[in-house]
Amino acid sequence: MNKPFSPASTYDVLRQHGIDRRDFLQFCITTAAAMGLDAAMVPQVVSAMETKPRIPVIWLHGLECTCCSESFIRSSHPIAQDIVLNMISLDYDDTLQAAAGFQVEEIRQKLIKEHPGGYLLAVEGNAPTADGGVYCTVGGNTFLNVLMETAEHAKAIIAWGSCASNGCVQAARPNPTGAKPIHELISGKPIINVPGCPPIAEVMTGVLTYILTFDELPELDRIGRPKMFYGQRIHDKCYRRAFFDAGQFVEAWDDEGARKGWCLYKMGCRGPTTYNSCSNMKWNGGVSFPIGSGHGCIGCSEANFWDNGPFYQRLSSVVVPGIEATPDKIGAVLGVATAIGVGAHLTATVAHRLSRKPITDKDQPTADKTEQE
């Protein structure tokens, strides 16, 4: 994105119209006088004119559970207070808004009218499209209409969480309300998908502050996710990866392996097929993450993860060699493991380990097309 994202200050606008610094200061003095302020107040007027207003944000809630908002306020750096008071102007957010009813709808209408193309739209949840959209209404209007109307004049759209990015739970089979993610409803606008149920708090604030700091959208992958947080698989950064490579697995809940923190792959962990920052950034200020607390990843930032279960069924039916396996057994397994995916990847890593060859990136097949239901 070459076009800057944040709103321009008055000084920026004047400069674009050919006004130089000297004329700008004269303008400030005149303005101060016109406002009845004495000369001592001129520096403050100058400062106000040079200061960029905070970018207005409209945060809509459709079919969702508010876990994204809850995650957002858990952010440890920056904290939510700093974002809301100092970085953005959160003008519309039904979860936190002081006003209610028509007063709050007025705010949305006013922003659309007064700042067309000048506000960010953050969407939590998605829109039901069945039966004319009656499964979610706001202020007597369908959420679908509210979304389309607000999106039309937005500068860009942030699709918070798996609901807005992928559809999430209400779009799981049989999707009774016809719930659709934002990118399936809106075109012609930059859309950033920030999946996860919810996304990690610091991923949410990281995306937002990146836009504010660098005045552009972050680099996105082919499905609209910021590469900086969704570029690698959880498995590849997991501290339990060494146990996977060594063939040391939790075989049952609360077994010896569970107490030693071994790999959860056999308990259904989706780390090998899930792109997210859980295993390196961790959750809630770096305290832990699902695998670190003994439960496999359920893949909540991947599209259709609800329908890729059951969650406790491991990703591939390929026989997993244990740590006691001999090279001969590994060879036998490799002979039958024609399927690509996690199982093949595992056997390959174990085979490498046993043959004492270094593992390189190109030895590791991608696992995002594993055998799943």
Partner 1 sequence: MSTRVVVDPVTRIEGHLRIEAILNDSNHVGDAISTGTMWRGIEVILRDRDPRDAWAFCERICGVCTTVHALASVRCVENALGIRVPKNAEIIRNIMFLTQMVQDHVIHFYHLHALDWVDIVSALKADPDKTAALAQKVSPSFPLSSPGYFRDIAATLKKYVDSGQLGIFQNAYWGHPAYKLPPEANLMAVAHYLEALKWQKEIIKIHTIFGGKNPHPNYLVGGIAAAVSMQSDNAINMERLNFIKDLIDGATQIVEQMYIPDLLAIASFYPEWTQIGAGLGNYLVYGDIPQNGISDVSKFRFPRGAILNKNLNEVLSVDPTDASQVQEEIAHSWYEYSDGKTSLHPWDGETSPKYTGPKPPYKQLDENAKYSWLKSPRWKGNAMEVGPLARVLVGYASGNTEFKDVVTEAIGALKVPASALFSTLGRTAARGLETRLAVRWLLDEYNQLVANLKAGDSATADTSKWDPSSWPAETKGYGFTEAPRGALCHWIHIKDAKIANYQIVVPSTWNASPKDGKGQRGAYESALIGTPMADPQRPLEILRTIHSFDPCLACASHVLSPDGRTLSEVVIVP
CB count within 10 Å of CB 256 equals 10
- Count the site residues for partner 1 by CB under 8 A: 97
Select the residue interacting with partner 1 from 34, 35, 40, 98 (CB under 8 A): 98
Among 283, 325, 345, 351, binds partner 1 (CB under 8 A): 283
How far from chain centre, in Å, is Cα 26? 46
Q: Hey, which residues between 285 and 344 contact partner 1 (CB under 8 A)? A: 285, 287-295, 298, 300, 306, 309-312
Spatial separation of the C-alpha atoms in residues 306 and 9, rounded to whole Å: 46
Question: How far is 110 from 99, CA to CA, in rounded Å?
Answer: 15
* Site membership for partner 1, residue 79 (CB under 8 A): yes
Residue 194 as a binder of partner 1 (CB under 8 A): the answer is no
C-beta closer to partner 1: residue 129 or 364: 129
CB 160 within 8 A of CB 122: yes
Task: Using CB under 8 A, pick the residue from 10, 150, 166, 177 that binds partner 1.
Answer: 177
Which of 20, 23, 109, 134 touches partner 1 (CB under 8 A)? 134
109 binds partner 1 (CB under 8 A): no
CB 25 within 8 A of CB 46: yes
Residue 163: its H or E element: helix 161-166
Cα-atom radius of gyration of the chain, to the nearest Å? Answer: 26
Q: Does 53 participate in binding partner 1 (rule CB under 8 A)? A: yes
Interaction between residue 174 and partner 1 (CB under 8 A): yes
Whole-angstrom distance, CA of residue 119 vs CA of residue 214: 16
Exposure string of 131-158, with b = 16+ CB inside 10 Å and e = fewer, is: eebebbebeeebbbebbeebbebbbbbb
Give the residue with the Cβ less far from partner 1, 138 or 185: 138
Rank residues 260 and 357 by Cβ distance to partner 1 and give the closer one. 260
> Minimum distance between the CB of residue 113 and partner 1, rounded to whole angstroms?
14
Instruction: Give yes or no for residue 90 binding partner 1 (CB under 8 A).
Output: yes
| Cβ nearer to partner 1, comparing 87 with 337 | 87
Among 5, 32, 49, 75, indicate the residue that binds partner 1 (CB under 8 A). Answer: 75
